[in-house]
Structure 1
Amino acid sequence: MLLLKGCATINPEPRHDVEMAEETREVRGRIPKELKIAFEIACARLEFTQTAALEEAIRDWLKKKESAADEK
Protein backbone atom coordinates (compact mmCIF):
# COMPACT_ATOMS: atom_id res chain seq x y z
CA MET A 1 0.00 0.00 0.00
CA LEU A 2 1.53 3.32 -1.04
CA LEU A 3 0.58 6.88 -0.17
CA LEU A 4 1.39 9.63 -2.63
CA LYS A 5 1.96 13.20 -1.46
CA GLY A 6 3.31 15.58 -4.06
CA CYS A 7 6.43 13.93 -5.45
CA ALA A 8 7.04 11.76 -2.38
CA THR A 9 5.90 8.16 -2.17
CA ILE A 10 5.31 6.81 1.33
CA ASN A 11 5.13 3.09 1.98
CA PRO A 12 3.41 2.56 5.36
CA GLU A 13 4.10 -1.19 5.34
CA PRO A 14 7.01 -2.37 7.52
CA ARG A 15 10.06 -3.52 5.59
CA HIS A 16 11.37 -6.64 7.32
CA ASP A 17 13.40 -7.79 4.30
CA VAL A 18 15.94 -4.96 4.54
CA GLU A 19 19.34 -6.29 5.57
CA MET A 20 21.13 -2.96 5.93
CA ALA A 21 20.35 -0.63 8.82
CA GLU A 22 17.55 1.66 7.70
CA GLU A 23 18.21 5.38 7.91
CA THR A 24 16.05 7.00 10.59
CA ARG A 25 14.78 10.47 11.39
CA GLU A 26 13.55 12.01 14.62
CA VAL A 27 9.89 12.97 15.04
CA ARG A 28 8.89 15.54 17.63
CA GLY A 29 5.58 16.72 18.98
CA ARG A 30 3.81 17.78 22.12
CA ILE A 31 1.04 15.74 23.74
CA PRO A 32 -0.81 16.06 27.05
CA LYS A 33 1.19 14.92 30.09
CA GLU A 34 -1.36 12.24 31.04
CA LEU A 35 -1.22 10.72 27.54
CA LYS A 36 2.58 10.62 27.62
CA ILE A 37 2.60 8.88 31.00
CA ALA A 38 -0.02 6.35 29.87
CA PHE A 39 2.03 5.68 26.72
CA GLU A 40 5.24 5.12 28.70
CA ILE A 41 3.47 2.75 31.12
CA ALA A 42 1.83 0.78 28.29
CA CYS A 43 5.14 0.42 26.44
CA ALA A 44 6.89 -0.79 29.60
CA ARG A 45 4.06 -3.21 30.48
CA LEU A 46 4.02 -4.65 26.94
CA GLU A 47 7.84 -4.68 26.73
CA PHE A 48 7.60 -2.61 23.57
CA THR A 49 10.03 0.20 22.77
CA GLN A 50 8.52 3.64 22.43
CA THR A 51 10.13 3.88 18.99
CA ALA A 52 8.41 0.68 17.83
CA ALA A 53 5.08 1.82 19.27
CA LEU A 54 5.33 5.21 17.57
CA GLU A 55 6.26 3.62 14.26
CA GLU A 56 3.24 1.30 14.50
CA ALA A 57 0.95 4.21 15.40
CA ILE A 58 2.19 6.31 12.48
CA ARG A 59 1.79 3.40 10.04
CA ASP A 60 -1.78 2.80 11.32
CA TRP A 61 -2.56 6.53 10.98
CA LEU A 62 -1.26 6.59 7.40
CA LYS A 63 -3.37 3.55 6.47
CA LYS A 64 -6.45 5.13 8.08
CA LYS A 65 -5.95 8.40 6.20
CA GLU A 66 -5.38 6.55 2.91
CA SER A 67 -8.60 4.57 3.42
CA ALA A 68 -10.52 7.78 4.13
CA ALA A 69 -9.06 9.40 0.99
CA ASP A 70 -10.00 6.35 -1.11
CA GLU A 71 -13.62 6.62 0.08
CA LYS A 72 -13.96 10.18 -1.25
Structure 2
Amino acid sequence: MWQAIWRYRKQTLGAAALMIVAKLAGVSVPLVLRSIVRDVQKGTDSIGYLLCGVQMGRNDEKSGHVHESECPS
Protein backbone atom coordinates (compact mmCIF):
# COMPACT_ATOMS: atom_id res chain seq x y z
CA MET A 1 0.00 0.00 0.00
CA TRP A 2 2.83 2.44 0.84
CA GLN A 3 4.30 1.90 -2.61
CA ALA A 4 1.01 3.00 -4.20
CA ILE A 5 0.79 6.03 -1.89
CA TRP A 6 4.36 7.01 -2.71
CA ARG A 7 3.87 6.43 -6.43
CA TYR A 8 0.73 8.58 -6.52
CA ARG A 9 1.78 10.99 -3.77
CA LYS A 10 0.50 14.12 -5.54
CA GLN A 11 -2.93 12.62 -6.05
CA THR A 12 -2.94 11.24 -2.50
CA LEU A 13 -2.00 14.61 -1.00
CA GLY A 14 -4.58 16.34 -3.19
CA ALA A 15 -7.29 13.92 -2.10
CA ALA A 16 -6.34 14.31 1.57
CA ALA A 17 -6.37 18.11 1.26
CA LEU A 18 -9.83 18.03 -0.36
CA MET A 19 -11.14 15.75 2.42
CA ILE A 20 -9.88 18.23 5.03
CA VAL A 21 -11.49 21.15 3.18
CA ALA A 22 -14.77 19.23 2.96
CA LYS A 23 -14.70 18.49 6.68
CA LEU A 24 -14.00 22.14 7.53
CA ALA A 25 -16.85 23.25 5.28
CA GLY A 26 -19.21 20.77 6.93
CA VAL A 27 -18.27 21.99 10.39
CA SER A 28 -18.51 25.67 9.48
CA VAL A 29 -22.12 25.54 8.21
CA PRO A 30 -23.71 24.95 11.65
CA LEU A 31 -21.45 27.61 13.18
CA VAL A 32 -22.52 30.18 10.60
CA LEU A 33 -26.18 29.26 11.03
CA ARG A 34 -25.85 29.58 14.81
CA SER A 35 -24.34 33.03 14.35
CA ILE A 36 -27.21 34.05 12.06
CA VAL A 37 -29.81 32.79 14.56
CA ARG A 38 -28.13 34.70 17.39
CA ASP A 39 -28.09 37.89 15.32
CA VAL A 40 -31.78 37.48 14.52
CA GLN A 41 -32.58 36.94 18.20
CA LYS A 42 -30.62 40.08 19.14
CA GLY A 43 -32.47 42.06 16.50
CA THR A 44 -29.43 42.77 14.36
CA ASP A 45 -30.13 42.78 10.66
CA SER A 46 -27.04 40.90 9.48
CA ILE A 47 -29.21 38.27 7.82
CA GLY A 48 -30.86 41.04 5.82
CA TYR A 49 -27.51 42.10 4.41
CA LEU A 50 -26.64 38.49 3.63
CA LEU A 51 -29.89 37.91 1.78
CA CYS A 52 -29.59 41.28 0.08
CA GLY A 53 -26.20 40.30 -1.30
CA VAL A 54 -27.59 37.04 -2.62
CA GLN A 55 -30.57 38.80 -4.19
CA MET A 56 -28.37 41.48 -5.75
CA GLY A 57 -26.23 38.75 -7.29
CA ARG A 58 -29.29 37.07 -8.74
CA ASN A 59 -30.63 40.34 -10.13
CA ASP A 60 -27.25 41.10 -11.64
CA GLU A 61 -27.05 37.69 -13.33
CA LYS A 62 -30.56 37.89 -14.80
CA SER A 63 -30.79 41.46 -16.01
CA GLY A 64 -27.43 43.06 -15.44
CA HIS A 65 -29.00 45.53 -12.98
CA VAL A 66 -28.44 45.82 -9.26
CA HIS A 67 -31.30 47.12 -7.14
CA GLU A 68 -29.82 48.62 -3.98
CA SER A 69 -33.22 49.87 -2.80
CA GLU A 70 -34.12 46.32 -1.76
CA CYS A 71 -31.34 46.27 0.84
CA PRO A 72 -31.92 47.21 4.48
CA SER A 73 -30.64 50.66 5.34
TM-score, scaled to structure 2: 0.30
Structure number with higher strand proportion: 1
TM norm structure 1:
0.31
